[in-house]
Structure 1
């Protein structure tokens, strides 16, 4: 039985001398990576196929390698990270898709490239993120492939509302590590997740949502879980300024393509606070300090100046 996780520490002043390093696959615009960085991890490389997303990554992580195609990567040619993270494509496991599952030749079949790189790199930890549909159409494949290369895994469904956002955006977060690293099934790495959710950054308008976990099978679950006033369009986020006709303005024609790419990138992303909560669990399990999330006025938009 492993000893209980050390108490949470806050890193202030100088940066920690020792930080877990990260290699990021299927990086998107880096919102998952932003959460890992907030917690105190340091990136070594990214991999993202979309040119617009790579432009965002280049702006916010200048000087780091950004590879284009996960299929062309080889572990021996990459900077070695402690943590390999990534949200592999969800199209074939999502409830909104055709539910083909994780099979060769599909978008979600890029999982096989992910697990190949895990085997070649042998990181201390793997963080895989996907939609909840994975639990019904692919989780067996993921666990089997990890087991075959000597990795154990644990997972949790974490919604954006659980870390303060006024919408669900549920995602499966799976953390894997070499077989035998943690031997106590009652106190796995993610056992601290519930406590860490309430330690995340509090948005100004939705602080009362922190730590709420919603049963997605019931339409009334939001009202049951939250005793206060509930926004009518809760899944759409905060409605302030959205519904008044006078607030709606047409974009200049030349900006439409940019906004389409921005919205697509955000639609494929998570909120950084979800990744921050998961990273905090890993850092605490390692006995390392967890950085506090930056104050709201110091958080930069991933799309700033683009």
Structure 2
């Protein structure tokens, strides 16, 4: 039986917080971010600037769930380096991805200390590779950790891009979401698994699969706003200037063409309209080809700026520019933080679903 939320404020705690995208989405949906856990200096300074009332609790390995202020929602995007297709694919056995179990421990400790009341909802986010690493056994371990029970592998041996585990506690649903389809104008390609665990009922599927309206991204000129423009958001330069054609620069295509002296293929390395936009990476920045339709020879190949990278994630312009004391965050730190972050519209959709279901 579902338990109705009776408190006036729905609250959130963010583990592995990064630059505070889950707290931002929560705030945009009327949910109060109470605390965060993060160890990287630059992201902490960034989020302290945007959420001065949100407590920072420090290293997750040193936290105990019974001593952390109880919240209705706990979000965590545990480190993905060992799951990623470009990582070492060590999976949950990897030194960084194994930190996942500290989040599970904190959730259990909080529920034990609160008599099974808090948290009501947990949200886990990770890279697409977490579905397939170690032949799917890692995602199986993730589900088993949430359920505290054995979960059978699919008969196919492969996990679907969306699914549910129902019958035990919590109620679980997961979904692969690609950020480029969750906002208009379109964002950068960014495929992430989002898992919702409902400890208070059977609402995970309603939160994660029910169609609902999306919050608009801020327009140009507003505080922390995004520039208004048409087309793909990654193509936008500063408001008021000409909008160039932007294509992901295909470095591997270019190298192969140069090696085999294939002139046409070399030209094609500057990208096609249907080439997928690469995800932003914490370890590297992808170059793009910029040119104007009436002046293709006057174009260039360059990396997106930090501001353009924020726009590709749907974040307010300048979100990562300054720390709490007004000091500028170094470009390398901004790129890394953005590469580790999630896209705002995806987080918005999930937070809207949580608020909607908890307030019924």
Normalised TM-score (structure 2)? 0.60
Contact between 2:11 and 2:33, CA under 8 Å: does it hold in 1? Answer: yes
Alignment equivalent of 2:172, drawn from 142, 146, 153: 153
Do the aligned partners of residues 51 and 250 (structure 1) sit closer, same or farther apart at CA in structure 2, a change above 3 Å counting?
closer
Q: Which stretch of structure 1 is more off in the superposition, 148-157 or 272-281? A: 148-157
Q: Distance in 1 between matches of 2:330 and 2:38?
A: 18
1:88-237 alignment to 2 at 5 Å?
88-103=78-93, 106-122=95-111, 123-137=119-133, 138-148=138-148, 150-164=169-183, 165-178=186-199, 181-182=201-202, 188-192=206-210, 195-196=211-212, 199-201=214-216, 204-205=228-229, 230=273, 234-235=277-278
Q: Distance in 2 between matches of 1:33 and 1:108?
A: 22
Do the aligned partners of residues 88 and 206 (structure 1) sit closer, same or farther apart at CA in structure 2, a change above 3 Å counting?
farther
- Count of aligned positions: 245
What residue number does 1:21 align with? 11
Offset at residue 246 of structure 1 (A): 11
Q: Distance in 1 between matches of 2:49 and 2:15?
A: 17
Offset at residue 136 of structure 1 (A): 1.2
State the structure with more CA Rg.
Answer: 2
Q: Distance in 1 between matches of 2:328 and 2:44?
A: 19
Cα deviation digits, residues 156-201 of structure 1 (max 9, x gap): 111111212332101111000227x118x9x543221xx23x5232
Between Structure 1 and Structure 2, which shows a larger proportion of strand residues? 2
Q: Distance in 2 between matches of 1:250 and 1:287?
A: 40
Q: Distance in 2 between matches of 1:18 and 1:33?
A: 18
Q: Distance in 1 between matches of 2:103 and 2:300?
A: 46
Secondary structure at 2:17's aligned position in 1?
Answer: coil
Do the aligned partners of residues 256 and 142 (structure 1) sit closer, same or farther apart at CA in structure 2, a change above 3 Å counting?
same
Cα deviation digits, residues 59-79 of structure 1 (max 9, x gap): 111132212200000112111
What residue number does 1:57 align with? 47
Offset at residue 249 of structure 1 (A): 12
Could you list the runs of 5+ residues in structure 2 that have no partner in the other structure? 112-118, 150-168, 218-225, 234-271, 281-287, 293-297, 307-326
Contact between 1:166 and 1:235, CA under 8 Å: does it hold in 2? Answer: no
Contact between 1:21 and 1:44, CA under 8 Å: does it hold in 2? Answer: yes
Say which structure, 1 or 2, has more relative contact order (CA 8 Å, 6+ apart).
1
Secondary structure at 1:102's aligned position in 2?
Answer: helix
Offset at residue 206 of structure 1 (A): 5.5
Do the aligned partners of residues 233 and 244 (structure 1) sit closer, same or farther apart at CA in structure 2, a change above 3 Å counting?
farther
Q: Distance in 2 between matches of 1:281 and 1:162?
A: 18
Q: Distance in 1 between matches of 2:304 and 2:192?
A: 33
Contact between 2:79 and 2:99, CA under 8 Å: does it hold in 1? Answer: yes
Between Structure 1 and Structure 2, which shows a larger proportion of helix residues? 1
Do the aligned partners of residues 51 and 95 (structure 1) sit closer, same or farther apart at CA in structure 2, a change above 3 Å counting?
same
What residue number does 2:156 align with? none
Q: Distance in 2 between matches of 1:95 and 1:262?
A: 22
Contact between 2:34 and 2:54, CA under 8 Å: does it hold in 1? Answer: yes
Could you list the runs of 5+ residues in structure 1 that have no partner in the other structure? 3-16, 210-228, 289-306
Do the aligned partners of residues 282 and 261 (structure 1) sit closer, same or farther apart at CA in structure 2, a change above 3 Å counting?
same
